[in-house]
Amino acid sequence: MEGRDPVSDEVRKALSAQPLWTGEYFNEGTDDREWFDKLREECGVFGVWNHPEASSLCYYGLHALQHRGQESAGICTSHEREFQYHRGMGLVKEVFDQARLDQLPGSAAIAHVRYSTAGESKLANAQPLVFKYRDGDLGIATNGNIVNAPEIRKELEAGGSIFQTTSDTEVVAHLVARSKAPTLVEAVKESLAKLNGAFAFLFMTNDKLIAALDPHGLRPFVIGKLGDAWVFSSETCAFDAVGAEYLRDVRPGELLVFDEHGVTEDRFVEEGQQRAICSMEYIYFARPDSDIDSVNIHSARKRMGKRLAMESFVDADVVTGVPDSSISAAIGFAEQTGIPYELGLIKNRYTGRTFIQPSQELREQGVKMKLSAVRKVVEGKRVLMIDDSIVRGTTSRRIVNLLREAGAVEVHVRITSPPFQNPCFYGIDTPTRGELIASSKSVEEIRQLINADSLHFLSKDGLLDSIGRGDAAMSRGFCTACFDNKYPTLSEEKLQTLTGCGGC
């Protein structure tokens, strides 16, 4: 694990033992969506090459990636050059059991968990998608969003292609199928070079597995080893879950081909594009026990908390973090200031899927299913509350009010990201710019709206310093478009067509 942040095995284990992280807020009924006005990750991918229990490894890998998508799950295996696959709506544990896994033999597999942003939420869009092409079967699993998919789809339809799903992934399958390139690998390279956006792809044929990352490396994607087997994942936490060793991150624009001859490192675009990994992965999406570009997420969030303390100290009696993603930052803030860290907010982890939602009247009377303030901790106290972002502002206001109702005398809010002002086109489900509170309101106006005594957002410099800018050799770079409107792949013109304005 050379080069990873120094997190002890003990801490790593404790972190991985936590139930699902950020994603468990969602997909549990309308109450959640209303209560937790949060951003959503789109998908997680996992793959295995050359292991006799590939589907079981995928099951555990997907389980570790469940926070990246809870609407559907799927595994496709290749056994004696035949594909077997199963996909279903729901959580990994609901879609798969031992009997299902027994029906998925093979030493190669690709797997997927999904929360949809492009394409509706329905079984036909659940991945991996499986196609027949001229030389056999083709399975595809992807994380991200292809910005120019609608244009390519139109062109393909004009040329006679018929689509079965609304998913971007099918667009890529059609590009591959229609390519005149002499080999499948060349067809995949040619197809990927036409895409604009953020994508981590796993392709599987009857005798090959191909992993590829977009030219800017916007989405996280890592490679590991487990004995003689190769494993691929959106996050390293899935490697820890299956006992695999992290080797490295897939490089921007890289294409890795695994077959009976071993591994071939290739590219589908020339080198030289700046890495632009999504900075929100560090702030909110990724699990704290994962590493991206050798930076541990928990450690980066702790540094964000420390930096917030330096940028915007205010005296308080307790520091608390909104569970789960802001706990690491709250610990960092407390360490920096000496103000004690306390569990002032508790999430109810065991609500599961809740079909009976409290009526508006009951909600107004204080029926809360997801989050509670700990009265004995906050009563009579000045509370410093850390959260990762403010989207529409409704969640922040609710949480501040929870703390006040429990007796907090002051509530100061610190946010571990700069103001979230612009929508994401790279696979994160965000409201329109008009719905993002920071796009039209000043910090002071937001403070008043969320009913806080003070409010401060981490500066962009503070954020990037906390993650670690790295050195030139690592060529680490970040997408910060939702904070600064600088989209790594979009021209002004394209941005205007996507937003209806120039991002003004």
Nearer CB in complex with ligand SF4: 22/279: 279
4: Cβ contacts below 8 Å, ≥ 6 apart: 246, 291, 294, 296
- Under the binding rule (CB under 6 A), the answer on residue 426 touching ligand SF4 is yes
**Candidate segments 13-21, 121-129, 469-477, 480-488, binder of ligand SF4 by CB under 6 A:** 480-488
- Under the binding rule (CB under 6 A), the answer on residue 481 touching ligand SF4 is yes
- Token pair recorded at residue 142: 């992807």
User: For ligand SF4, which residue of 479, 495, 499, 503 counts as binding (CB under 6 A)?
Assistant: 479
Nearer CB in complex with ligand SF4: 331/438: 438
461: Cβ contacts below 8 Å, ≥ 6 apart: none
Residue at token pair 């389980």: 63
**Candidate segments 100-108, 130-138, 313-321, 423-431, binder of ligand SF4 by CB under 6 A:** 423-431
The question of whether 43 is a catalytic residue gets the answer yes
Nearer CB in complex with ligand SF4: 49/282: 282
Rounded Cα distance between 172 and 200, Å, is 12
Amino acid identity of residue 369, one-letter, is M
In eight-state DSSP terms, residue 209 is: E
- Token pair recorded at residue 88: 């279903």
Rounded Cα distance between 253 and 347, Å, is 40
Please, what is the minimum distance in Å from the beta carbon of residue 428 to ligand SF4?
Answer: 4
Residue at token pair 């990037």: 464
What are the beta bridge partners of residue 262? 259
**Candidate segments 30-38, 128-136, 439-447, 473-481, binder of ligand SF4 by CB under 6 A:** 473-481
Please, what is the minimum distance in Å from the beta carbon of residue 277 to ligand SF4?
Answer: 8
Site for ligand SF4 in 114-143 (CB under 6 A): none
Please, what is the minimum distance in Å from the beta carbon of residue 209 to ligand SF4?
Answer: 26
Sheet containing strand 209-213, edge to edge, reads: 129-133, 136-146, 197-204, 209-213, 254-259, 262-267
In eight-state DSSP terms, residue 67 is: G
User: For ligand SF4, which residue of 184, 195, 428, 436 counts as binding (CB under 6 A)?
Assistant: 428
Please, what is the minimum distance in Å from the beta carbon of residue 216 to ligand SF4?
Answer: 9
User: For ligand SF4, which residue of 373, 424, 446, 464 counts as binding (CB under 6 A)?
Assistant: 424
Please, what is the minimum distance in Å from the beta carbon of residue 482 to ligand SF4?
Answer: 3
Rounded Cα distance between 263 and 249, Å, is 15
Q: Which H or E run contains 230?
A: strand 229-233
Nearer CB in complex with ligand SF4: 25/83: 25
Q: How many residues bind ligand SF4 (CB under 6 A)?
A: 11
**Candidate segments 86-94, 117-125, 222-230, 474-482, binder of ligand SF4 by CB under 6 A:** 474-482
Q: Which x/- pattern, by CB under 6 A, does the window 263-302 give for ligand SF4?
A: ---------------xxx----------------------
Nearer CB in complex with ligand SF4: 191/279: 279
**Candidate segments 124-132, 288-296, 431-439, 476-484, binder of ligand SF4 by CB under 6 A:** 476-484
Please, what is the minimum distance in Å from the beta carbon of residue 276 to ligand SF4?
Answer: 8
Nearer CB in complex with ligand SF4: 426/457: 426
- Under the binding rule (CB under 6 A), the answer on residue 172 touching ligand SF4 is no
- Under the binding rule (CB under 6 A), the answer on residue 334 touching ligand SF4 is no
Rounded Cα distance between 225 and 203, Å, is 18
Nearer CB in complex with ligand SF4: 77/234: 234
- Under the binding rule (CB under 6 A), the answer on residue 482 touching ligand SF4 is yes
Could you tell me the CA-to-CA distances from 134 to 13, 140, 164 in Å, in that order? 46, 16, 18
Please, what is the minimum distance in Å from the beta carbon of residue 461 to ligand SF4?
Answer: 15
Nearer CB in complex with ligand SF4: 288/344: 288
Write the DSSP assignment of 316-378 as a string of letters: -SEEEE-TTTTHHHHHHHHHHH-PPB---EEE-TT--S--SPPPHHHHHTT--SSEEE-HHHH
What are the phi and psi torsion angles at 477 (to 5°)? -150, 165
- Under the binding rule (CB under 6 A), the answer on residue 218 touching ligand SF4 is yes
Please, what is the minimum distance in Å from the beta carbon of residue 362 to ligand SF4?
Answer: 35
Decide if 283 contacts 463 (C-beta within 8 A). Answer: yes
Please, what is the minimum distance in Å from the beta carbon of residue 198 to ligand SF4?
Answer: 6
Q: Which x/- pattern, by CB under 6 A, does the window 225-264 give for ligand SF4?
A: ----------------------------------------
Q: CA nearest 456: which of 408, 402, 400, 416?
A: 416
Q: Which H or E run contains 129?
A: strand 129-133
Rounded Cα distance between 72 and 93, Å, is 11
User: Cα–chain-centroid distance for residue 392?
Assistant: 19
- Under the binding rule (CB under 6 A), the answer on residue 108 touching ligand SF4 is no
The SS3 of residue 44 is strand
Rounded Cα distance between 176 and 154, Å, is 16
* Residues making contact with ligand SF4 (CB under 6 A): 218, 278-280, 424, 426, 428, 479-482
Provide the annotated active-site residues.
43
